[in-house]
Amino acid sequence: MDVVKLSRWLSDVDAGQTVAYDAGRPLSKADLESRIRKWQACFSRTDATRWAVYHSDAFEFLAILLALWTLQRIACVPGDNRPGTVESLYPCVDAFAGEFDESEVTVADSSGDFSGWPLLNIDYPALEIYTSGSSGKPAAIAKTIGQLERESLALAELLPASSEHEVILGTVSHQHFYGMTFRLFRSLAQNLPFDLTVCEYAETVISRSAHYDAVGLISSPALLARLNAALNWSQMAEKCNFVLSSAAALSAQASGQTHALLCAPVLEIYGSSETGAVAWRDQQKSAVWQAIPGVELDKTPDECLRVSAPFLPTPVVLADQVRFVAGGFDLRGRADRIVKVEGKRVSLTGIENRLLHSEWVREVKAIILERRRTEVAAVIELSDEGLSLLQTEGKKALVGRLKGYLKDYFEAVAIPRRWRFPSRLPYNPQGKLTVEDLTALFNSEPARWPDLISQTVGGLEAELRCRIPAELVYFDGHFAQHPILPGITQIHWAERFGRDLLAIEGQFLRLEVVKFQQVITPDSQVLISLSFNSDKQKLTFSYTSDKGVHSSGRICFG
């Protein structure tokens, strides 16, 4: 299938072509054209060059972009339309179009003669994407239409349309560059209609897919790592051509589950707003990242990835450190303080700077905790005002105020979920604040679970290799001089892991043939093996190590 260049799309594509669907209702290019002309009429009335653009409807958003570009204006696209975001955009733009409280712009009736669509100018910075810069201030990344269309060409090579009737579904917003590129620009270039809704839940994805003969899904780990296997995936699996994931690395487990539920390749895209798409992988085949067609990669002396591509005017150095291996590269972590929280880019420095502006904070350090999910945590040395608030109203009220204060400026996932208020930040003797010392402040909760070293789950069997931490509450008083792991704890863990990993749902009825043969001591390593017989509803467990069998038994459910 021919690839259409973005600059020629308006002039070349037939007006009857279906561009998008709203839950099965087709929207043609002619429908889009009439929206574009209305927006053109309103933009033409002013000289404003730089327009902030936010619209939750992807079709309307696209109409605004194309209308601005036919007039050689600049679309400045923020990730959200929060009051704090809008405030920070004021110095950067001349006017606001779309869903803004401040927006005075209403769509005007298009009038006057229409003399056909122009080719878009491919050389001026038509698009500016606003993301969290490392200073915490929003940073603009400019793109020309030439860059956008060259990236679409490279993506067409990587991801050719697999059928003419494919409709692109998305769970990620088009206000971010990944969603914009893969839901909108790739779709335009390859004549693939997109469904204009951002599906927030897997249930929505499944029900939308029922409207179409074939679909491709543009998604991210936030959703794919939480797919509910109990939903009816089979009808969607029959028509799903591919699943795309980006914004953060997908775990091998989530990749495998997505692949199993949707019976389609799960491609991950690695990239950034600065560079666009850089590399891809399919973990069902290899965990190594490979360059997108036309992209050339090398690294700087400090191990950071340097990207050259036909769609980049100059090479771009990213803050991700890499190691080149046979067939591609591995990611080794970030060299700056921008982190990904559940796929959203968050500047820790930005959160710190904002908190420092509040009257309650004297000094602050934000860190990332990997708990059940990735989350931001804050360690704060309070000002006198903060301290008196803590003393009079308590921690919950103080945290509530701090969260409320951040809410105007950051998306909910970026707001710290855990807070500590030590009298002084934990500087070490060298005068440094280490991540380890800061993280330790959050580990004060009593330990109740083994440290997982690795786990394998297949069908109705699971194996967990664990370290038994010495800090476990269960060692307390059991026994004073000779701590050993209580048998009841071992049964409790076996039950809990069985429920979590093997989807056991019945009530705990009784135990059979339980034997405790050797004690388990603090800091030892054990292998917990679980096997569930679903007919008999019995879970067989054992704790073993290089010392042999520690314990074994069966838990009966019903």
Q: What does the binding site for another protein look like in residue numbers (CB under 8 A)? A: 199-201, 203-204, 206-208, 222-223, 226, 228, 230-231, 342, 371-373, 395-396, 399, 403, 407, 411-413, 415, 417-419, 445, 505
Closer residue to another protein (CB): 206 or 520: 206
Least Cβ distance, residue 10 to another protein (angstroms):
32
Distance CA 294, CA 155 (A): 10
Residues 6+ apart with CB under 8 A from 394: none
Least Cβ distance, residue 397 to another protein (angstroms):
11
Count CA atoms within 13 Å of residue 183 on its CB side.
31
If DSSP codes are grouped into helix, strand and coil, which group holds residue 12? helix
Amino acid residing at 442: F
Closer residue to another protein (CB): 420 or 465: 420
Closer residue to another protein (CB): 161 or 351: 351
Distance CA 294, CA 154 (A): 7
Closer residue to another protein (CB): 162 or 228: 228
Closer residue to another protein (CB): 65 or 236: 236
DSSP-derived pairing of the beta strands 266-272 and 276-281:
antiparallel
Least Cβ distance, residue 395 to another protein (angstroms):
6
Given a contact cutoff of 8 angstroms between Cβ atoms, the answer to whether 483 and 521 are in contact is yes
Closer residue to another protein (CB): 92 or 447: 447
Least Cβ distance, residue 317 to another protein (angstroms):
31
Least Cβ distance, residue 210 to another protein (angstroms):
9
Least Cβ distance, residue 337 to another protein (angstroms):
21
Least Cβ distance, residue 389 to another protein (angstroms):
15
Least Cβ distance, residue 502 to another protein (angstroms):
12
Closer residue to another protein (CB): 230 or 513: 230
Closer residue to another protein (CB): 402 or 472: 402
Which DSSP state fits 201?
Answer: S
Least Cβ distance, residue 396 to another protein (angstroms):
6
Residues 6+ apart with CB under 8 A from 431: none
Closer residue to another protein (CB): 396 or 424: 396
Nearest Cα to Cα of residue 93 among 122, 127, 63, 124? 127
Kindly provide the b/e burial profile for residues 142-162, where b requires at least 16 CB atoms within 10 angstroms of the residue's own CB.
ebbbbbbbbbbbbbbebbebe
Closer residue to another protein (CB): 68 or 225: 225
Distance CA 128, CA 143 (A): 6
Closer residue to another protein (CB): 33 or 342: 342
Distance CA 364, CA 350 (A): 11
Distance CA 511, CA 99 (A): 60
Closer residue to another protein (CB): 95 or 262: 262
Least Cβ distance, residue 204 to another protein (angstroms):
5
Closer residue to another protein (CB): 210 or 549: 210
DSSP-derived pairing of the beta strands 125-132 and 166-170:
unpaired
Least Cβ distance, residue 175 to another protein (angstroms):
14
Helix and strand numbers (H, E) in the chain are: 16, 29
Token pair belonging to 65: 């972009």
Distance CA 473, CA 522 (A): 11
Residues 6+ apart with CB under 8 A from 122: 7, 144, 145, 146, 149
Closer residue to another protein (CB): 1 or 503: 503
Given a contact cutoff of 8 angstroms between Cβ atoms, the answer to whether 25 and 167 are in contact is no
Least Cβ distance, residue 505 to another protein (angstroms):
7
Token pair belonging to 9: 């799309």
Residues 218, 219, 224, 230: is their CA dihedral positive or negative? Answer: negative
H/E element, 147? helix 145-158
| Omega before 177 within 30 of 0, i.e. cis | no
Given a contact cutoff of 8 angstroms between Cβ atoms, the answer to whether 389 and 401 are in contact is yes
Residues 6+ apart with CB under 8 A from 190: 1, 3, 4, 152, 156, 160, 161
Least Cβ distance, residue 342 to another protein (angstroms):
5
Taking the CB of residue 134, how many other CB atoms lie within 10 A of it?
14
CA angle, 13 as apex, 51 and 144 as ends, to 5°?
A: 35
Nearest Cα to Cα of residue 319 among 310, 306, 308? 306
Least Cβ distance, residue 22 to another protein (angstroms):
14
